[in-house]
Structure 1
Amino acid sequence: MSTPVVNHTWKAMTAAEREQFDEDGFLLIPGALSPDEVEFYRAAVDRVYQNSPSAAGGDALHLLSAVKNCPELAGMLDHPAVFGYVWSILGWNAHVYHSHIDVHPTIREQKPFWWHWHQDGGRQNREIETDPRPRLSVKLAFWLSDVSEPGRGNLTIVPGSHKTNWLVGPPRRDIEWPQPEGAIQVTVNPGDVLFFDRRIWHARSDNFSDITRKVAFFGYTYRWIAIRDEVADLPEQAWWDTLTPVQRQLLGGIGDGTGDHSWGHYPETTPLYGELAARGLLDPSYPPLIP
């Protein structure tokens, strides 16, 4: 399950990047994955797809629990080219609560209209009463196919919409409705990564091209928020011990009850805290990055 060697120094988000992220709700990181990495991860996703029921009919695949179902993707969890954006926002007491692998082949016939626009978080968007809603989580999208032109199943977003609780839309999702004002299709190359605020209003567009859309999404949140992915049996998997302590933390690993736990009361026993401390990356001016 070895991944291509990646030589990147861990680094924090810059002040300019933080300002742009706060304003737009997303950042695009071009070329975060090397060509060898793209080939490795794409081959792993292809194997998962070919072994799925979707492959027989050439149907789309939306598979939750990315690493559980494709352990080769573990290197994405804390990929050094982009992981700094995650802990720069959430700090060291974080984990992956939701992840998925998406494979979308060409659509040959127009499907009935459906309003796909949403914010991530599900019931969070009904049950939290503040305006705007709190960020709570961020997401990394690792693109493994050429989506450099519109019409290839591009992620569609409304820049700056992450501080808007409601989007004007149809009374029912099956009623034809124009795209939201300001919506754009994000164009990306294989190896690009999109980092975005879970609150940004977004939707997947249809893929009418001859290129199969392939992407892996990892959503990160605070460890005191429950994990949606299926992770309970991961410590029993043969490959679990090949992961780093930080990767195990991100997949829901916690201590033995005498130290590290999801509330973060014992930072010195939390793997990501220790790694950031050793690298001199704890920032006392930013609360999530201090004890």
Structure 2
Amino acid sequence: MTTSTTRTARAMTTEQRARFERDGYLVVPAALTDDEVERYSRALDRVYAQERAAGRVGADGSMHRLGAVAALPEAVHLTDHPSTFPLVWSVLGWNVHVYHSHLDVHPPIRVPKPYRFEWHQDGGRQNRELETEPRPRLSVKVAFWLSDVSVPGRGNFKVVPGSHLSNRIDGPPRRDIRWPEPPGAVEVTAEPGDAVFFDRRLWHTRTGNHSELTRKGVFIAYSHRWSHNRDENSALLASPAAVAFTPVQRQLLGAPLAAPGQSAGDHQWGHYPDTTPLHGYLAARGLLDPHHPPLRP
């Protein structure tokens, strides 16, 4: 991991884009500094203790808490982190928001769990209702690792490289029927502070944590702002904590952006780049991609 905090926003490189389009994911080494890992890990432990005390963790002690920033306001700095956010806007453009996020804590498995075939693509109903082959990308996700998953068996992210271009993989008629792993599946290994950036269509699963370490991570998913927002952030955006949020962070958390005379609905479709903070941020730095032009009313 690194302890440097000096970073400059740069678009995805040609090499990164080629690997991402080929494999469906990228590992970003040392995305977080040692200090950031320690700070976010402590904050996540605090949320976990609160959820556990309230009886909102699984029987196995696991936590899957939706609305990462609402539960952990410090996580707002992960939404536009300079080590990972350029990958997001390089792929999806400037008209984006965080539509889904979660905090995950998975202690070591002490009691064997029933078998369940958990391979999936993100997006839920999108994968039932979109008709094209392959289905459109629609969203991307970043996993920030706060625990050591540098060897298999620690609840690693497991993927089939290149499977984002396949609408289906071979699977059982029911998830409780034992079935062979998909050909080519690999466990992604990562040090604390590493991040994994992936296409939502990538076939993946979370493996069991059979180590002595607790698996901890923060997951941030981005889509175009005309996609429905699963996170409920209205109370967060009205709270004192939001005073310190940057305009780009407010955009990502779903804050209303339409100025007087602008239609809120048309704003979500990208008609008004002048009042979209990320558009202004990228334009000021010469980083706008002509492949992501605004729509005009």
In structure 1, the partner of 2:292 is: 287
In structure 1, the partner of 2:126 is: 124
In structure 1, the partner of 2:151 is: 149
- Which amino acid in the other structure matches residue 136 of structure 2? P
In structure 2, the partner of 1:84 is: 86
- Which amino acid in the other structure matches residue 155 of structure 2? G
Structure 2: distance between partners of 1:251 and 1:166 = 32
Structure 2: distance between partners of 1:122 and 1:146 = 29
Q: Equivalences for 1:104-123 in 2 at 5 Å?
A: 104-123=106-125
Structure 2: distance between partners of 1:254 and 1:144 = 32
Structure 1: distance between partners of 2:182 and 2:59 = 32
| SS at 2:76 equivalent | helix
Contact 1:92-1:288 within 8 A present in 2 as well: no
Deviation at 1:205, TM superposition (A): 0.2
Structure 1: distance between partners of 2:235 and 2:76 = 16
Does residue 1:173 correspond to 2:172, yes or no? Answer: no
| SS at 1:97 equivalent | strand
Total equivalences in the alignment: 287
Structure 2: distance between partners of 1:245 and 1:46 = 28
Contact 1:103-1:214 within 8 A present in 2 as well: yes
Does residue 1:28 correspond to 2:27, yes or no? Answer: yes
| SS at 1:153 equivalent | coil
Contact 2:269-2:295 within 8 A present in 1 as well: no
In structure 2, the partner of 1:192 is: 194
Q: Which runs of 5+ in 1 are unaligned?
A: none
**What TM-score do the two structures reach when normalised by structure 2?**
0.93
| SS at 2:229 equivalent | coil
Deviation at 1:5, TM superposition (A): 9.1
Deviation at 1:280, TM superposition (A): 1.3
Deviation at 1:74, TM superposition (A): 0.8
| SS at 1:219 equivalent | strand
In structure 2, the partner of 1:237 is: 239
Structure 2: distance between partners of 1:139 and 1:55 = 23
Which of 260, 269, 272 is 1:266 aligned to?
Answer: 272
Structure 1: distance between partners of 2:5 and 2:294 = 25
Structure 2: distance between partners of 1:81 and 1:10 = 8
In structure 1, the partner of 2:17 is: 18
Contact 1:158-1:180 within 8 A present in 2 as well: yes
Contact 1:147-1:153 within 8 A present in 2 as well: yes
Can you list the C-alpha shifts for 1:191-218, whole angstroms capped at 9, x where unaligned? 0000000000000000010000001100
Structure 2: distance between partners of 1:78 and 1:49 = 23
* C-alpha distance 107-54 of structure 1, shift in aligned 2 (>3 A): farther
| SS at 2:268 equivalent | coil
Does residue 1:39 correspond to 2:45, yes or no? Answer: no
In structure 1, the partner of 2:203 is: 201
Does residue 1:162 correspond to 2:161, yes or no? Answer: no
* C-alpha distance 162-57 of structure 1, shift in aligned 2 (>3 A): closer
Structure 1: distance between partners of 2:188 and 2:58 = 29
- Which amino acid in the other structure matches residue 48 of structure 1? V
* C-alpha distance 51-5 of structure 1, shift in aligned 2 (>3 A): farther
Contact 1:91-1:289 within 8 A present in 2 as well: no
Does residue 1:277 correspond to 2:279, yes or no? Answer: no
Can you list the C-alpha shifts for 1:38-67, whole angstroms capped at 9, x where unaligned? 001111100000111256966100000000
- Which amino acid in the other structure matches residue 269 of structure 2? W
Q: Which runs of 5+ in 2 are unaligned?
A: none
Does residue 1:251 correspond to 2:253, yes or no? Answer: yes
Deviation at 1:253, TM superposition (A): 1.1
Q: Report the aligned-residue RMSD.
A: 1.8
